Amino acid sequence: MIKRLTNLPIRQKFAVIIIPLIVIILAFDYLQVRYHYLDYSDSVRLNKAIRVGIEINHVVHEIQKERSISSGFLANQGESFGVKLNKQRESTDSTLQQYYNELTNGDLEDLLELHRTDLDQLNAYFDKLSTLRKNIDEHRISSESSIDRFSEINNNALNTVIKLIDETRDKEIAQQIHAIIYFLKSKEFASIERAIGTQAFSRNHIDFTLYNRFTTLVANQNSYLDAFNIIANQESIEYYNQIVSGEEIEEVDRMREVLFANDTLSENPDHWYESSTIKINRLKDVEDYMSDNIQKRTQNIAQTSVRNFWTFLILDVTIGIIAFWLMTTIVTNLLKNVSILEAYTRRISAGDMTKKVVIPTKDELGQYANTFNRMVLEIRKSQFELRKQRDKAKFLYKNIYGVSLVVFENIEQGIFLLDKEFKISKFHSKAMKEIFSNDRIAGENFANFMRPLILPRELEALEMFMRHLFNEDMDEEVVNQLNPIDQVKIHTEQNGIVATKYIRVEFTRIFRKEKIQNIMVSVSDETESILLQQHLNEAEKKKQQETERVLSILKIDPSILRGFLHNSRKMLKSISERYEKNENDEYGELLSFTFDIIHNLKGNAVVIGMELMANKFHEIEDSITALQSKEVRGKDFLAILYEVDEADRMIAEIAEMLYKIINIYKKFPAEGDSVSNIMVIDSLERGAELIAKEEGKTVNLTFDNIDNVVLPEAYIEPFKDMMIQLIRNSVVHGIEAPSVRMSEGKVIMGELLIELSKSDNEMFIRYKDDGRGLDIERIKRQALDKGLVTDTDLKGMEEFEIQSLIFREGFSTADKSGTNAGRGQGMHLVKSILDQYKGAYDITSVDGKSFEMIIKLPVLNVEKGDEE
């Protein structure tokens, strides 16, 4: 419960404090207001009751008089009091009327409502007066009875008065009301005493019963007076003592003693009545005085109550408003400040420290705010410092560490550090893994790491070397000369495949504070370069051998060499044949047979000066000699056979080389220039491609037999010029546009063919395309148009003659003159060249299919060459 209370937010805590307070205050206010109101209403009601009571008392007072007079009237049979009685009845009626008037007064409603029954009863008693009076007038009632009847009415009236007024919350008033009640009772008894006295003196006699009653009356009257004297206030008592004294009162006492002595009752009843009435009137004075006092007092209380009520209300409301205003102001301010602080702390916890918290008050919260601000300032300073450090660290990381990592990730070298215990550093380049095909690198002892990879001897040396590396007394350069794995061959295994690698390992000392802290080790995989080197070496060696062979061949006459080679192969073959036929495993014989043949061949090689082969055969001889000393088995002989095969292969290679050389001689019989040949071909190919491109066509130029026939130097240029003209003519006129070719079922690419051949004294150049062929009619028309021939000429010409018109100067069949044709020059040039070199030609044109021209040129020089 307490915990729940203490855990409440401040706002609710305030509510917990304030709400009960407000409730208590309101309850207190209610009680106060109610108290004052009750005082007021009580006083007002009492005041009204007293007003009514006073009226009733007036009536009672008159009835008391009437009772006495009636009593006297009845006692002496109407001899006296007759006049007085009527007068008194008027007085009684007058006061009764006043009482009734008072009852009808408007402001008494609530009182009447409250005492309805009592007042109704009283009024009924008052109504009995008329009957009683009638009985008195007619003497139908005794004096004693009349007293009783009147007393009955008065008794009821007094009781009603008591009921009306005997209800107040004010102790003092209650006491004074009781004093009045005692006084009224006493006065009633005095009044009855007067009646009895009047009766007795009227009769000059008092009987026993009446006497007793008289004594009781006086005793009781005095008893009530005693009670009055005890509880009435000093004022009333003093007033009583002052008023109820003097001659008249003493006279009443005197006559009372006469009655009490009961000797001779010769006193005048009128005198008794008058004296008693004076006394009773005095008593009535006291009664009125007291009633008046109480009435004043109740009025005063009512006024005070009202005043107190309003004073309290105004004071209360004022204080309430002030208190509420103060409370609201303070609580609102506190809550506001608390919420500012709260919002601020929330912002800070969210990391925003850019603003200060501002609390305008100088109370504890204000001081907290200042403290907060100082704290935040400190935090910001520290944060700034931290951020600076962090940025620096980040910078370092990015620029140094980051770079190192990138280097480590990508460098092809294995790089790592060794500590003094030869352990490999955690950070090492990625290449390490690839080089050593090993994942377990970091933290491994380098010697252990290398153990399975290198020879024990090397390992031992490595361990010693590493110790030296950390020995600062030794010069680094000197130590590095001892590096046993500067270049080392290792065998790594990955996925069961063993690979041989050549690695270079270099060691560099790393100093920190002038002490050797670490050794940086770099490992490079040099397998590829070393293998390449090996290949190069081998290739070099082989080349040397080949050169040697070539040189040895070139020294020897080709026919002799050919004979040697032929013979050697045959002989070597006989060895393998003999081996295959060797069913009895007679290796000894086979061996000597082989030896004889090899020896023979060696002799031949020596004779013709073939040192290479002589050496080889000598080697085989040595091998055989080595075997001859012991028993020969199949396995041993296989080694010899292998060497024999090798010799055979060498002979084959020499033979091939010889063939190549012969071919070269064939191609270039004179000082023929194959380079020019190739260049011509190349330039024609490019020319054809260029022309075709310009014409929007594609062609393929094929050369036939051009490798075998070498153009003499003198023919190269004319050949090229003629071919270019023919190619141009074909591409421009002969080869159809691609769309036409397609519709005629030809391949789109036009085919051009140049073929060389020669006989003993003539060279043949065959040129052919797969175009539309020569258009005879068009040639005719063109020749006529150009004025080359006449109609008459044409009629007498053969087809070949007409075709030849294209070679005439100024002939061009193309309608427009382009770069490639139409200048009437091209074909004429061909003719000119042919004429110049005494050549001849022949044309075969198939309509829509092909154009073919065969050129014959005389061979310029007699060639020398070995044709086999």
Partner 1 sequence: MSKTVLIVDDSIYMRSLIKTAMEGAGFEVVGEAQNGESAIDLAVQLQPDLITLDNILPDMMGFEILKVLKDEEVPSKVIMVSAVGQQTVVNKGLSLGASEYIVKPFTEEDLLKVVEKVLA
Six-digit token string for 520: 């940086």
> Quick one: 220 or 576, whose CB is closer to partner 1?
220
Residue (17 or 219) nearer to partner 1, CB: 219
Name residue, tokens 């009766």: 199
Tokens of 11: 């706002």
Compare residues 216 and 702 and give the one whose CB is closer to partner 1.
Answer: 216
CB of 189 to partner 1, least distance (A): 8
Please report how many Cα atoms fall inside a 13 Å half-sphere around the Cα of residue 294, on the Cβ side: 33
When the beta carbons of 220 and 698 are compared against partner 1, the nearer one is 220
Distance CA 587, CA 595 (A): 12
The distance of closest approach from Cβ of residue 213 to partner 1 in the complex, given in angstroms and rounded to an integer, is 10
CA-atom Rg of the chain in angstroms: 83
Going edge to edge, which strands form the sheet with 762-769?
699-704, 750-758, 762-769, 850-858, 840-846
Phi, psi of 266 (to 5 degrees): -95, 5
The span from the CA of 413 to the CA of 504, in Å, is: 10
State the burial class of residue 627 (Cβ atoms within 10 Å of its Cβ: 0-12, 13-18, 19+): buried
Beta carbon nearer to partner 1, 174 or 784: 174
Residue 320 CB, shortest distance to partner 1, in Å, is: 43
Q: Are 763 and 857 in contact (CB under 8 A)?
A: yes
Query: Judged by CB, which is closer to partner 1: 286, or 488?
Result: 286
**b/e map 477-487, b = 16+ CB within 10 Å:** eebbeebbbee
CB of 290 to partner 1, least distance (A): 17
Q: Which is nearer to partner 1, 220 or 844 (CB)?
A: 220
Q: Indicate the residue among 257 and 791 with the shorter CB distance to partner 1.
A: 257
Closest by CA position to 706, among listed 747, 659, 764: 764
**3-state SS of the chain: helix, strand, coil percent to 5?**
70, 10, 20
Minimum CB distance to partner 1, residue 305 (Å): 29
Nearest residue to 620 via CA among 571, 658, 580? 571
Give the nearest distance from C-beta 175 to partner 1 in angstroms.
11
| Number of Cβ atoms within 10 Å of the Cβ of 116 | 10
Strands 488-494 and 497-512 come out as: antiparallel
- Residues forming contacts to partner 1 in the complex (CB under 8 A) are 212, 215-216, 218-220, 222-224, 226-227, 229-231, 260
Question: Least CB distance from residue 67 to partner 1, whole Å?
Answer: 19
Cβ 254 to partner 1 shortest distance, Å? 14
Q: Which residues are bridge partners to 26 per DSSP?
A: none
DSSP class of residue 107? Answer: G
Name the residue nearer to partner 1 (CB basis): 197 or 414. 197
Taking the complex as a whole, how short is the minimal distance between the CB of residue 3 and partner 1, in angstroms?
54
C-beta neighbour count of 8 within 10 angstroms = 12
CB of 469 closer than 8 Å to CB of 478: no
By C-beta, is 260 or 427 nearer to partner 1? 260
Residue 589 burial (CB count, 10 A): 12
β-strands 699-704, 750-758: how paired? parallel
Name which of 298, 283, 296, 286 is nearest 235 in CA terms.
Answer: 286
Helix (H, G, I), strand (E, B), or coil: what is residue 215? helix
State the nearest-atom distance from the C-beta of 128 to partner 1, in Å.
25
Q: Residues near 431 by Cβ (< 8 Å), separated by ≥ 6?
A: 411, 412, 413, 414, 415, 523, 525
What DSSP state is assigned to residue 488? E
DSSP 486: S
From the CB of 302, what's the least distance to partner 1, in Å?
29
Nearest distance from residue 33's CB to partner 1, in Å?
Answer: 34
Nearer to partner 1, 189 or 617 (CB): 189
Q: Which is nearer to partner 1, 262 or 844 (CB)?
A: 262
| Closer by beta carbon to partner 1, 215 or else 819 | 215
Residue 225 C-beta: closest distance to partner 1, Å: 8
